[in-house]
Structure 1
């Protein structure tokens, strides 16, 4: 009876060690190929350098993904889980981040002209050097929880705490 108990315990420990919802490699490949993928599991996907415009990634799980140096103009990220995303130097002109969770994301040096941030969660989001002069839906309350630097360009009278 002990060998059965030990086997059961080993299986249970292995199951606990696995991530609860790992990435979907097929969905990541589809997006890397330029296809939309609303509601997809793109967890830890490598989209660095991707050039694809007008994608629909609404409601997708992009947590811990790399979007560095990508060009994704007019892309819909509304309602997406984008926590801990790295988007250094990316271009997201007129993209929609409404209701997206961007907690601890890095948008250092990112071009965000015309992007929509209505209702986005920006806790710990780094906008150092980001170009945001014409973004919409951005409030001072959101920015108070984010950070930037003297090179961060914001609309109107908005300001951002230093990182």
Structure 2
């Protein structure tokens, strides 16, 4: 039993000593050039102003990325890590955010008409001024964890707490 504990202790020390997985510059460059990158590490990527259509960023790590003023319609963000993303004024028409973790992201003034949010985590998301009239998969319970303002446009019958 002692050798097993020793091996486990060594493995734990090695894991702590290794640096955390940071962004991948090559993968960020691929997306900046308009390429898909499912499962990529785009942590803190500066993608502001990107114009592309139909990207596959499913399961990608976009935590703390700058997606402000992007125009990336019909992009797949299914099961992606979008925590703390800045997406001010972004255009995401018809995009798929199903299962994405969007905790504390800012989609202020974003255009999200036709976007899918089934199973997405919306805790702390700021949707102030966002257009989401034709969005699908939104529930009142999930929206109650987010916030918006009087300019936030939602599908009929849904509301959002004020920020």
- 1:77 CA drift (Å): 0.2
TM-score with structure 1 length normalisation?
Answer: 0.89
Render the CA deviation track for 1:65-109: whole Å, top value 9, x for unaligned.
Answer: 000000000000000000000000000000000000000000000
- 1:47 CA drift (Å): 0.6
Q: Please give the secondary structure, in 1, of the residue aligned with 2:52.
A: coil
What is the aligned-residue RMSD (CA, Å)?
Answer: 1.3
Identify the residue that residue 3 of structure 1 maps to in structure 2.
none
1:124-163 map, 5 Å: 124-163=124-163
- 1:158 CA drift (Å): 0.3
Query: Structure 2 CA distance, aligned partners of 1:104 and 1:72?
Result: 21
Q: Please give the secondary structure, in 2, of the residue aligned with 1:58.
A: coil
Structure 2 residue ranges without an equivalent (≥5): 1-13
1:14-29 map, 5 Å: 15=17, 18=19, 20-29=20-29
The count of corresponding residues between Structure 1 and Structure 2 is 149
Query: Structure 1 CA distance, aligned partners of 2:43 and 2:66?
Result: 10
Identify the residue that residue 58 of structure 1 maps to in structure 2.
58
Query: Structure 1 CA distance, aligned partners of 2:111 and 2:53?
Result: 14
Query: Structure 2 CA distance, aligned partners of 1:23 and 1:139?
Result: 33
Point out 4+ residue stretches in structure 1 off by more than 6 angstroms: none
- 1:52 CA drift (Å): 0.6
Query: Structure 1 CA distance, aligned partners of 2:105 and 2:160?
Result: 15
- 1:149 CA drift (Å): 0.3
1:1-163 map, 5 Å: 15=17, 18=19, 20-163=20-163
Structure 1 residue ranges without an equivalent (≥5): 1-11
Query: Structure 2 CA distance, aligned partners of 1:45 and 1:141?
Result: 31
